[in-house]
A and B are shown apart, each in its own frame.
Chain A
Amino acid sequence: MTAKIEGLKTKKKVLENPPQTIQIKIQRRERPDKSSYWETFEISYRRNLNVISALMEIRKNPVTKDGKKTTPPVWDMSCLEQVCGICTMVINGRVRQACSALIDDLLIESGSNVITLQPMSKFPNIRDLKVDRSRMFEHLKQVKAWIELDGTHDLGPGPRMSNDEALQRYAYSRCMTCGCCLEACPQYHDNNYIGPQAIAQARLFNMHPTGRMNMQERLEGLMGEDGITNCGNAQNCVKVCPKNIPLTKAIYETNRDITLNVLFGWLKK
């Protein structure tokens, strides 16, 4: 956007004395069976760039800082307003969406003019910054993250609920399956653990009056070897979640539900 209005107070720190150029250091990989390597690109500084616009600039004319012609870096992007989750990558060591990673902020934080971009490390790397997160959608199948309907024909409205209840569910329902929580989780590697996102989605449906009717099945999906007991309570997930989803609360409450519903239910049998 255009220059700040004079005298306007803003929460945001403004980058003083911006550099002439910025360097974008990218961890690249040609294809899954090849090893990774680094390439650095240089672009001239402009105000209000984000990581996506920097990558777009590089893509137009892929030449490294040393003048070597190379292939254009590959990355995923779509909505560019942090609701689709697709452009997630590791930026200056921290997992986040590239669209909302503003270059000025990164330069202020790091105090340098170099920005490093890496693909998420916990998912299969397709090429450059692109990864395959399809397993996260498989996890949603495992916890039956949906409401069972009698049919989509007209049966009137759903159950009434208070706005507070709706708001609590809304907080979980904003999860965009970006994978930040899994990338940051020290327990998660080689797809050994279903992870915070799926547990929070199970919680989302277990909180719904209709969804609750299938709570047992949903909880069973969390009781296998890759289930909820893998959580080591490091609480990294909740720190990196771009939607501020109360992931640790979901894990705590789901654990409680498992104890109450499954164990006691099982004893009753």
Chain B
Amino acid sequence: MAVSKKMKIVVVGGGLAGLSATMKIAEAGYDVDLISVVPVKRSHSVCAQGGINGAVNTKGEGDSPWKHFDDTVYGGDFLADQPPVKRMCEMAPQIIYLFDRMGVPFSRTKEGLIDFRRFGGTLHHRTAYAGASTGQQLLYALDEQVRKYEVAGKVTKYEGWEMLSLVLDSHQVCRGVVAMNLQTLELKAFPADAVIIATGGPGLIFGKSTNSQTCTGSAASACYQQGAKYANGEFIQVHPTAIPGEDKLRLMSESARGEGGRIWVPRKKGDKRDPRDIPESERWYFLEEKYPAYGNLVPRDIATREIFQVCLDGYGVNGENQVYLDLTHIPAETLNRKLGAILEIYEMFVGDDPRQVPMRIFPGVHYSMGGLWVDYEQRTNIPGLLAAGECDFSIHGANRLGANSLVSCVYGGFVAAASAVEYAKNVERKETETNGIYDSEIKRQQEINERIIKSEGPENQYKIHEELGKWMTENVTVIRYNDRLKATDEKILELMDRFKRISINDSNLWATQALPHARQLWNMLELARVITLGALNRNESRGAHYKPEFPERNDEEWLKTTIAEWSAEGPVFSYIPVDVSLIPPRKRDYSKPKEK
């Protein structure tokens, strides 16, 4: 197969980052093949609720991009390389304005300006929002713009295709991808001058999380297994407020606290009274008590650990793993206008009306700060391969602030687009380089498929996935102990061995979900080791990574980025310095207003 003379960029993933990149590339006049496992309008970005950060200073609080930058770096416990964070915060107001022009129905002030609300880890009103389904609204705006370019012939969508691997030439240069049609199982090579991976997070490694079922991290893991560096994998955000469920943990947005929601438990252990009958003096607002400056809006890593600890100490509501998130003191009209979408979710799945009764919530796995290593232009270590959005490691350091994910996805997509175009313009397109590489990669992937299809063992892939999720949630989330991390890695190795004896249990290969799931599962197992061993190695506590055996942040030894590289024997770890050239690291303390 020959590379066409016309420049072509492949974008994998159709969430906020992928669509942002696609829109920019198409606008610049270049062609995009957009590959997505689901119709792009159904990507996981729809689940983002609370809002998007940008220091527009509508409220006259003296907010500025620099303060946004400082909050982000401080909230991330100084593990983020700082220059791209600064650039993102400077671009954030423009990004919000662009979405405003694209027709996103942002909530408004009485003057008709975009309204802003508070979110965690800041003392400013910095979060623009569209009701409580901001991610959905932003995604739709991009979906609409990209559809326009689809009509114009600049973008070709391959929805219902899953990327399986990169196509690399003999110099390890990325020349495209191989993807599988999820109905026919056809394998197809997509030659490209540059590839942008924007495939989101790996929440499904933890079984139940706030993530969508598409968030397997499979594509990023495939890149890692082909030589892309994976950075800071051990940093997994557990969101303080989720609704536990049988099939998933449903997010209850931080905006609930941004609008005044209060977290509490009864002061008396096992108090069985109706929460509305418990007087104020017998309620323990533990976040407000411990963190007077930020209160319920401490960053997520801190809120999560506090809620977890309160439940471990036996103060959970009804003696169970749950605390109250209380909105009942806020007028119902305000709640409906500002938080309607998330209140509907609570009512739908729990049955109580959060306007009348405090919600019961518990932390749930939510976001990966770690991901594919990228430089300041979103380039991975593989020439021709870029990454953007949750699947890249940049911006958030050891802990992401609420409402920074949407802005980082769009920022990453925009930067990756410009960078991919620049690369593609200059890349050499020699036939000899690409001779046969597409066919041979298709053949390699076909062989993997056939091996799985033919496998007739006694093991069940869904049970293996369940076990993986249980072990990871139990041992590699809020509180981490080295002996348990070691045992978890041994468990993952056992699951990898058992994987070789699965049977896919589906004799009908048309539109089968068993083969794609098996391939995703293997990739999840590979990434699970990166997360677990990365956590085992890091003997300190920083942001979302907390070890009681090493309770303090240790900048002397651990102010460095974890890099994992794949080998047949398991991940090989190395460390590189963090760029702290703009703001010197200082200790985090949310009990008082931040020092500048």
Contacts and interface: CB of A to CB of B under 8 A. Distances in A.
Nearest to B513: A74
A267 interface: no
B596 interface: no
Contact of A157 (B101, B137, B148): B101
Given A6-B272, A8-B357, A81 B101 contact: no
A161 B112 contact: yes
A155 B98 CA distance: 8
A188 to B, nearest CB: 20
Contacts of A59: 462, 513
Interface string A147-176: 111011011111011110111011001101
A257 B51 CA distance: 33
A82 B97 contact: no
A1 B462 contact: no
Given A157-B114, A160-B112, A205-B103, A10 B272 contact: no
A81 B364 CA distance: 15
B47 A156 contact: no
B514 A166 contact: no
Contacts of A107: none
A35 to B, nearest CB: 14
Interface string A61-86: 11000000001101011111111111
Interface stretch (B164-172, B342-350, B398-406): B342-350
Interface residues of B, number: 88
Contact of A141 (B44, B113, B147): B147
A206 to B, nearest CB: 11
Contact of B508 (A12, A30, A48): A30
A110 interface: no
A149 B102 contact: yes
Interface stretch (B222-230, B238-246, B365-373): B238-246
A25 interface: no
Contacts of A134: 39, 159
Interface in A203-254: 204-205, 208, 210-211
Interface string B501-525: 0000111101111100000000000
B162 to A, nearest CB: 13
Interface stretch (B187-195, B314-322, B532-540, B555-563): B314-322
B46 A12 contact: no
A49 interface: yes
Contacts of A82: 345, 348
Given A62-B505, A169-B105, A2 B322 contact: yes
A140 B144 CA distance: 9
B133 interface: yes
Given A50-B247, A72-B505, A126 B511 contact: yes
Interface in B340-397: 341, 345, 347-353, 356-357, 360
Contacts of B24: 152
Contacts of A141: 147, 150-151
A56 to B, nearest CB: 6
B212 interface: yes
A165 B320 CA distance: 44
Nearest to A28: B508
Contact of A147 (B42, B103, B322, B345): B103
B520 to A, nearest CB: 13
A80 B248 contact: yes
B450 interface: no
Given A8-B357, A152-B27, A162-B112, A78 B246 contact: no
B272 A5 contact: yes
B317 to A, nearest CB: 7
A112 interface: no
A156 B345 contact: no
B516 to A, nearest CB: 11
A52 interface: yes
B107 to A, nearest CB: 6
A243 to B, nearest CB: 9
B445 interface: no
B511 A127 contact: yes
B41 interface: yes
Contacts of B100: 157-158
Contacts of A61: 460
Range class of the A interface residue count: 35 or more
Contact of A11 (B23, B113, B322, B353): B353
Nearest to A73: B513
Nearest to B507: A71
Interface in A124-146: 126-127, 130, 133-134, 137, 140-141, 144-146
A106 interface: no
A167 B147 contact: no
A91 interface: no
Contact of B357 (A10, A49, A160, A211): A10
A169 B106 CA distance: 10
B145 A149 contact: yes
Given A2-B320, A80-B250, A85-B42, A166 B505 contact: no
A256 interface: no
B411 interface: no
B309 interface: no
A102 interface: yes
Interface string B82-125: 00000000000010011011111111111111110000000000
Nearest to A174: B133
B408 interface: no
Most chain-B Cβ atoms within 10 A of its Cβ — which of A62, A85, A173?
Answer: A173
Interface in B50-87: none
Most chain-A Cβ atoms within 10 A of its Cβ — which of B39, B115, B356, B360?
Answer: B39
Given A81-B47, A152-B24, A160 B111 contact: yes
A79 B44 contact: yes
B147 A146 contact: yes
Nearest to A56: B247
A1 B243 contact: yes
Contacts of B251: 81
A152 B357 contact: no
A268 interface: no
Contacts of B94: 154
Contacts of B109: 163
Contacts of B569: none
B592 interface: no
A261 interface: no
Contacts of B39: 86, 133-134, 137, 177
Given A74-B512, A145-B144, A156-B97, A8 B27 contact: no
Contacts of B136: 83, 174, 176
A162 B114 CA distance: 10
Given A60-B463, A99-B247, A11 B272 contact: no
Given A83-B47, A137-B39, 15 more contacts: A1-B243, A7-B274, A11-B347, A59-B513, A78-B44, A85-B42, A152-B24, A152-B98, A152-B145, A158-B100, A163-B110, A167-B105, A173-B104, A174-B131, A176-B41
30 contacts: A2-B322, A8-B357, A9-B357, A12-B351, A12-B352, A31-B508, A48-B245, A60-B463, A71-B508, A80-B247, A80-B248, A81-B251, A81-B349, A83-B47, A84-B44, A84-B47, A127-B511, A141-B147, A146-B103, A146-B144, A146-B145, A154-B97, A160-B108, A161-B108, A163-B112, A166-B105, A169-B103, A170-B131, A173-B137, A210-B103
7 A-B pairs closest in CB distance:
A12-B351, A160-B112, A146-B144, A158-B100, A163-B108, A170-B105, A127-B511
